[in-house]
Amino acid sequence: MLVEGPVAVTNAVLLLLQPHIREPILSNRPQGPLELPSNETRTLILRDVGALNGEDQRRLLEWLGGTGSHTQVLSTTEHSLFARASGGLFDIALYYRLNVMLLHVGSMESPDLQCDDAERVHRRTDDPAPDSTLQGT
């Protein structure tokens, strides 16, 4: 899952997802080199994935194709990763690997969530038709 939006909001989304995250968990911060697990980590949380340098992007993509192929990956960014990938600043193959489900989140004042695959998102509503905008609670 890729969560795009302001840092405070993407962190709040990760907190809301915590009960559904498989343990053990490895959480990476944007400072320092990318740490990739070599053990049975079930979930990898990548904060500010858009800030990864080219070498870390390559290592992450390679890891996802091997050791990490069964690891749940949750990544956040405050930038449009698609725009960065389209502009050559982010590996396009890695973008599509991370973008299994994309959530665009707004500010804390306007907690609307926009999902690129609304039919796969369980939501509470009286309207059975899929909608591309989910209202925050």
What is the model's pTM?
0.72
Strand residue runs (E) in the chain? 2-4, 25-28, 43-46, 72-77, 102-105, 113-115, 133-134
Q: How far is CA 3 from CA 40, 45, 90, 105, 130, in A?
A: 24, 11, 16, 7, 20
Domain boundaries, the chain: 2-134
Q: What pLDDT does 130 receive?
A: 39
Q: What pLDDT does 119 receive?
A: 40
Q: Domain 2-134 belongs to what topology?
A: Rossmann fold (3.40.50)
Torsion of CA 80, 83, 86, 92, to 10 degrees: 0
| pLDDT tens sequence across 66-101 | 888 888 899 999 989 999 999 999 999 999 999 878
| pLDDT tens sequence across 46-55 | 999 999 999 9
